[in-house]
A and B are shown apart, each in its own frame.
Chain A
């Protein structure tokens, strides 16, 4: 699973989004600089991205499920919320590590790496939200938003 998420986030190439050192940190390069035995951030943040996106989707399509929140501009509002949340999650976790110095001192990590990873997470959550809402199912299991996508109604 770690390789899956790693290849996902590194799909765009480690540069220009974030550095190879940030990639190692997210793979779980431990604080003693010996092996990948630290916290597997790729997996944790990957699952949180999937969770946040699915919960947000469910909120709009199945829980709020309202004729007053089923137009395409509502889809874009929800997409923006998802993108922001996922950006924040992926930005704040490495950013906090950097601020507290809680990483292998051989790695060179900067705030721009955190921003880059946040952006990568945000892009993937956006893609996932598009995929979730572009196919007939599970959208059709809802009532009021069963035709709601990023291009209609």
Chain B
């Protein structure tokens, strides 16, 4: 199985990765002959970032569910693994998805570059390169050199590019390089209008393409000519005005322009990247809280992040012949943007282009219906309905076990938060009525019913589940729950709601 290594940089990286995890959990897969194993590597100096913590927890739960349910169960059927699992070396890392940035916590930038040890000409150069002001986590104005980096680079890519350059010498990068094979791919997620992502993307890209010059790593040849895709997320949300904050909406465009100008020579201009996706939204919606990072940085999920995750699916669908690389240069670089059919402030499935709708509508609806059943009806069905009594039984003991009680419940709760947050955000994505009856679950989809067809309610789902499960064998109750519901929800949503696969 080939692997896709995803470098998710900064807060946007974590949020897009979260969206990707949700899509993969729902069963969205690339139309490709190749099955890819996903290896996420989150790079964010801001360890207390709530978005990062939520994504890490989500990935952990996904991994457990996927391991228990197997890869042919429909939901959770794409393998996600941590980098350490690939490594057999003595220096095996702990099982985390997060890259461990050294010497960042509680340290000022000037200490990181050992400013006081520099000679006078270098001090003068550093003063020029890192002039300007920022704020620290106590909201005090400080010189850029005195920024404490444990809340990230606070919109300063010039700092980020120095710190993130340590990636190439890290154990994680060595593990990544030594495990990277010819058929593997790399995808980099970053935003362009902040600090961490804007700095991290070209830095990571350069370190991969320049792997031949890195004496510390193996697998250089494969890395130099790796098939690399990336999404660079341009401004897509509004932010509250706060004159005391270093984060200003008015700076977003200037920072974006500056970064794009840099990319023109160092990313796109030199053909370093095989496939680059751009996404942006100039819709001026509900402003986010202006939080430079010290408040935990927990932003609501946004449609743009889900669309960005679809770039990863699209990248995996791109055939190898279109991603040829020679001497570290993409032979036929591809540049893509994302669009929707209708400029709606609250996007429904019908507002998406056909391909996007086909890709996600059925699968997301399946997971929504699965969650709805588990939350609202499972307790009254277990040990009563035929499908639950078939062996292996879905019984009270099963729902009290960690798999269901913690991993699955927690994951589906995050999934429902994700759907709700996207719906409440502006621009919103609200194709579901989560609290309504099953028949009104999907906006704009009416049930195909007639005199001779039954309505869609929980008893009808129980009937379908019992039919689906009859005579089937499952390796475990966990596998049965996931696979049975995937097949049943697919049948109901295609036959009754007219969703297409």
Contact = CB atoms under 8 A, between A and B. Distances in A.
A147 interface: yes
Nearest to A72: B384
Contacts of A70: 384-386
B463 A146 contact: no
Contact of B384 (A66, A71, A143, A146): A71
Interface residues of B, number: 12
Interface in A68-124: 68, 70-71
A56 B463 CA distance: 20
Contacts of B390: 146-147
Contact of A146 (B383, B459, B462, B470): B470
Binding site secondary structure of chain B: helix
Interface string A115-153: 000000000000000000000000000011111000011
Contacts of B384: 70-71, 153
Nearest to A67: B462
B463 A66 contact: yes
B459 A67 contact: yes
A143 B385 contact: no
Contacts of A67: 385-386, 459, 462-463, 466
A146 B386 CA distance: 6
B383 A153 contact: yes
Interface string B435-470: 000000000000000000000000100110011001
Interface in A35-91: 66-68, 70-71
B485 to A, nearest CB: 15
A145 B386 contact: yes
Contact of B462 (A144, A147, A152): A144
A145 B462 CA distance: 11
Interface in B352-397: 383-386, 389-390
Given A71-B384, A153-B384, A143 B466 contact: yes
Interface of A: 66-68, 70-71, 143-147, 152-153
Interface of B: 383-386, 389-390, 459, 462-463, 466-467, 470
24 contacts: A66-B459, A66-B463, A67-B462, A70-B385, A70-B386, A71-B384, A143-B463, A143-B466, A143-B467, A143-B470, A144-B386, A144-B462, A144-B463, A144-B466, A145-B386, A146-B386, A146-B390, A146-B466, A147-B386, A152-B389, A153-B383, A153-B384, A153-B385, A153-B389
Q: Which 10 A-B pairs have the closest CB atoms?
A: A67-B462, A147-B389, A153-B384, A67-B459, A146-B386, A143-B466, A68-B459, A144-B466, A147-B386, A67-B463
Given A67-B462, A152-B389, A153-B384, 9 more contacts: A67-B385, A67-B463, A67-B466, A68-B459, A143-B386, A143-B463, A143-B466, A144-B386, A153-B385
